[in-house]
Every structure is written in C-alpha cells, then in structure tokens.
Structure 1
Amino acid sequence: MATKPLALQRGDVIGIVTLGSPLEAAVIDARIDVLRRTGLGVVLGRHVYDATGFLAGPAAGRAEDLMTMFADPRVKMILPTRGGVGVEGILPYLDFAYIANHPKIVSGYSDITALLNALYQQADLISLHSLLLIDFKSETPAYNFEQFFTATSSIEAPRPILNPPGKPMTGKVPGIATGPIVGGNLTSFVGMLGTPFEIDTRGKIVLIEETHEPVNTVYRYLEQLRLAGKLNDCSGILIGECTGCVEAYGVTYEELIDNYLVPLGKPLISNLASGHGVYKAAIPIGANAVMDGAEGTIALLEPAVRYPGMV
C-alpha cells in the first residue's frame, strides 16, 4: 500500500503554491479569505503571485515553493492555486526521496494531474484529485467541500465514492475491477507519455476527465493512450465529465465512450462528477479501490489519510 499522509484537522496550516499558470493576486487573496473561514491557517509560497506569460515564473522557482512546503513543519497540506499549464516542468526539480520521507496531503486537478501521479509513482504517496484554491468561493457547491473535507479527514474503509444526489454514475461494461486509482485530466495524462513520469496503468483503475476539447480531439488522445498500452494494461476505466467538449462530425462525448471505450471490454463506469465539472468528487490517486461496472459503483478499500500512530 502507498503512504498515507496525516489527516487534516481544524486549525492546521495549508501551504499555498502556484505550480503551473498564474492566477490574479486579487483572486488568490479572495480564495484565501474563504479558506481561512473554514478554520485553517495559510502559508504562502514565495512565488505564489509570480507571472511570466502563461507560467507562474520559472519551473525551478515553482518547484522550490513546493519543496519548501514539504519541508515546513507547520504545513500539513499543500494546495495549488490552480492548474493551467506547466506543472510537468517542475517534476525534474523535485526531490521525491525527500517527499517520501515527509508525506503531506496534496490536492488538485487539471494540469496538477501530472504532479499527483508523479507523487504516487516516484514517492509512493497518496494524493487527492480534488479541490484547488480557486474552488474556495461562496458559489462552490456544498457537495464539493463535503467531499474534500471527508477525503482529507476520514479513515473509514471501505467507503463509497458517491456523486451528488440526482446525478448517478452509469455502469457501461459489467465486471469487477480492483487496484489503485491513477490518471485524471486526459490532456495531462497523454502529455506524460514518453517521459520519465509516464503513468503506469498496469493493474490500475484509470480515471479520465477532460475539459473544452472537441470530441475528435478527445478521440485522438484516447487512441494515443490505447497505442501506448495504457488502456489494455488497466483493470478498469472510470470516466469523468468532459465539460464543454462539443460534438464533432455529429459524434458526442457519450457516443465516443460507447463506440470506442466500451468495446475494449474493461469494467467501465461513466458520469463520475470530477475535475472541471461543477461537482467535484474527491478521488485519492494511489489508493486501492474496487469498481463494479454492472452496478455503476466505486468504493475506496483504504483511506487516503491516517492519524498519528496509524500505519
């Protein structure tokens, strides 16, 4: 089993970092105000407000901020401001051996997918495909916060991953699949192929979600995953939303799943609330889970966090 970071408790300090694209200072400050109102403290990375075009400064500086948070004994959890682009650029600068010996909760989605999977594969650390700092705002659904705070504090196992009421997951291919969950944002997933941080899907449940890509582009990415063996090696496929993914040549996202992924014969569930959608389930990357493709259910077989004294 992978390493579980210590659970988050009221009064703990969150380390805020910007690891990919920049975010406006006013937005960062407003989101921090909301975060503090939940009873958590905040420490800012030195480069949190940096902006150089579409990147939040050089990769080495962004990586330095992340490593500083892992080294700071006050910090119990690390929360990126946003994803965007550029997160993969920090990976060569990270000391994964140090991270493995100083495990902490890391949460995010979108381009943060690259970091979450690298933490699991390089440091054997469970992380969360869940909220970013940008999601801490008054209009964020209560479901998202409930998912986030449950995942960062609960040691219940097994524990089902549930969509919000009235938005059921859909079983597409029957069968039981078990294994650690990997993956996340499809663009980021594909972008890691051929690098030292390529995602290992062997015996894993693969999570896939995307945003604002036409369906023919989504097909191209899925075909690249298939040719790389990632869809053949996995034990099951968990499909999240594709927000703003417009149909192409009359083919919708759901039809693409039915026509391309279902024939692979892997246990498959679609319509998981995740990533870029309005509703965001908290999915632990690296935690063992079991999915039932007939019933359209998935449950965690282990918690994502631990308390002092627990293994």
Structure 2
Amino acid sequence: MAIKPLALQQGDTVGIVTLGSPLAPETINARVAYLRSMGLNVILGRYAFEENGFLAGTDRQRAEDLMDMFANDSVRLILPSRGGVGVEGILPFLDYSFIRRHPKIVSGYSDITVLLNVLSQLSGIITLHSLLLLDFKPETPPYNFEQFFTATSSNKVPRAIDNPPGKPLVGKVPGSATGTLVGGNLTSFVGSLGTPFEIDTKGKILFLEEVHEPVNTVYRYLLQLSLAGKFKDCVGIIMGECTGCQDAYGQTYEDLIEDYIVPFGKPLIADLATGHGIYKAALPIGALVNMNANNGTITILEPAIRY
C-alpha cells in the first residue's frame, strides 16, 4: 500500500530546495514572498541559491538539502525551485528507507519527475506531478492553484482530473484501465534507462509530456522507451502536451501519437494539460487511477495525502 504524507494546511512549513539547475536568487526570493503571502511558512535549503555551472551545487549538496527537508519534522511540503537538468545525479545519495519513514509532500515536474517516480518506487510514497516554486506568482492561472491545493489538502476520492474549460481530453484508443499512475517528462525517463532508477511501467498507467524538442527527437525518445518495453508493460497511456515542440520534416507531435502510440492498442488519452504548459493538472504519482478513453476521463481513486 502506498504511503501518504500528511496534508498541507494553512500556516504549514514549505521547504525550498534546488535539485537540478540553478535559479536566480531574485526569482527564488520573489516566489518565496508569494508563498508567504498565501499563508505558508517557508524555509530554504542550505544550497538553494548555489550555482555550480549548469547545476545548483554538487550532487551531494543537492541530495543533502533534500534529505535535510525529509528530516525536518516541521516541513510538510518539499518544493523544488525548478527542474532543468541534473536531478538524476542526487538519486544515489538519498536514503530511501529514511524517506519512507518520514514521508512529505514532494511536488514538481520537468526533470523533477525522475525523483517523483523514484520516491514512489523505492520509498513507496505518493508524490505529486504539479507545481514548482517557479510557478508561485500572481500571473499563474487559478486552475493551477486549485489543482495543487486540492491535491495537497483534500483526501476526497474519486476525483476527476479535468482539463481547463475549452481543452477537452481526447480518447484516442478506446478502453478503460485502472492502475498505479507513473510518468512525467519524457526526456528525464529516457535518461534513466539502464540505471537502477529507470521507470517501472509494469501494470501501470503511463503518463508522458515533453517540452522544446523537435518532433524527430521526440520520436527517438518514444522509440527508446518502446524498445525498453515500457509501452508493452503498461496497461494504459496518457499523453500530455509537447509544449513548444517544433514540427520536423512535415511531421507533428499529433502525428507521432497516431503513428507510434496508437498502434500499441492500449487505452489512450491525449491532450492532458500539465507539466510545462500554461495549465498544470495535479497528478498523484504512485496512486491508483482509472482512465477511460471511451469518454475521455481520468479519475483519481486514491488520495495523495492523509490527515
């Protein structure tokens, strides 16, 4: 049974860590101020402002910051500042048994998704494919905050994952499937293949999204996942947006789904708005989910938190 962290409530403490690429100190400070204006207490990791080229400190430093947040009993939510690159580098330095005994809400997307799935697989905790610190700003759509705070503070299920109005989910291959939800950023998962931290899709519902890659590169990554058996092993597929992805050789992202994902014959839903796009649905990684491609619905059957 998946381990559920305690719910986030008004006045709780949020721990800010930078686990991949660095983020400008003025941006971190502005987002922290916005979090505080929402009634949350905030503490910063020792290396949250660190810069080591394209990484925020060494792998060990970033891992230490994360473990410190799990060890701090006052912290209810661990919120990475951004993704970028390098999150996989901290994975060998984490104590998964300790994390299992001290579960916290961990939210994020982009390169953070490799961490979300590894924490689910190795520590057994439900994590949240949702907002980063970067997203806590006045211009963030209300939909994103509604999704985030519902997932982090409500244990009511079933809960439908609905796109914003005017952006319907699209059933591409009919059928219904129920399973544990895994997934996130395509590039991040391809980078973990062949390591002790590669994504496990056996009997699971697989969700994927991508950003700023030409369609021919997206094809290469999908093919690599396919050859690794990840589509064969899963029971259903949810394709999110390919945000800012460029068409290549007359082929679009939608063409890739039709030509290379539909033929697997698994229940398939497309156009889920989450990840790098403007709108970000909150998805509990490691929780039981039903997807029904006959009517284009995604239903969360297990809460991400407990009271």
User: Do the two structures share a fold, i.e. TM-score over 0.5?
Assistant: yes
Shift of 1:171: 0.4
TM-score for the superposition, normalised by structure 2: 0.99
Task: Determine if the alignment matches structure 1 residue 12 to structure 2 residue 47.
Answer: no
Tell me how far apart the structure 2 counterparts of residues 35 and 190 of structure 1 sit (CA, whole Å): 33
Number of residues paired by the alignment?
A: 307
**Residue 114 of structure 1: CA displacement?**
1.0
1:250-282 Cα offsets, whole Å, 9 max, x none, are 011011101110111000000001100000000
Which amino acid counterpart does residue 252 of structure 2 have in structure 1? Answer: T
Q: How does 1:53-68 map to 2 (within 5 A)?
A: 53-68=53-68
Correspondence for 1:50 = 50
Structure 2 match to 1:229: 229
Residue equivalent to 1:301: 301
CA distance in structure 1 between the partners assigned to 2:306 and 2:108 by the alignment: 19
Q: Which residue does the alignment assign to 1:170?
A: 170
CA distance in structure 1 between the partners assigned to 2:265 and 2:38 by the alignment: 44
Equivalent runs, 1:205-216 vs 2, <5 Å: 205-216=205-216
Equivalent in the alignment of 2:21: 21
Could you list the per-position Cα deviations for residues 25-82 of structure 1 after superposition, in whole angstroms to 9, with x for gaps in the alignment?
A: 0000000111111110001000000001100010000000000000001101100000
In the alignment, is residue 142 of structure 1 matched against residue 142 of structure 2?
yes
Tell me what 1:183 maps to: 183
- Offset at residue 293 of structure 1 (A): 1.1
In structure 2, give the amino acid aligned to 1:149: F
Gaps of 5+ in 1: none
* DSSP-derived class of the 2:202 partner: coil
Cα separation, 2, equivalents of 1:219 and 1:112: 22
SS of the aligned residue for 1:152 comes to helix
Distance (whole Å) between structure 2 residues aligned to residue 178 and residue 299 of structure 1: 9
Give 1:47's aligned amino acid: Y
The residue identity in structure 1 corresponding to 2:284 is P
- Following TM superposition, the consecutive aligned residue runs of length 4 or more in structure 1 with deviations greater than 2 angstroms are none
The unaligned stretches of length 5 or more in structure 2 are none
Residue identity matched to 1:284: P
Looking at structure 1, the residues matched to 190 and 167 of structure 2 have their Cα atoms a distance apart, in angstroms, of 28
Query: 2:104 — aligned with what?
Result: 104
Matched letter for residue 236 of structure 1: G
Aligned to 2:255: 255
Q: CA deviation at 1:242?
A: 0.4
The one-letter code of the counterpart of 1:52 is: N
Deviation at 1:158, TM superposition (A): 0.9
Q: How far, CA to CA, are the matches of 1:186 and 1:238 in structure 2?
A: 12
Residue in structure 2 matched with residue 133 of structure 1 by the alignment: 133
Asked if residue 274 in structure 1 is aligned to residue 279 in structure 2, the reply is no
SS in 1 for 2:181: strand
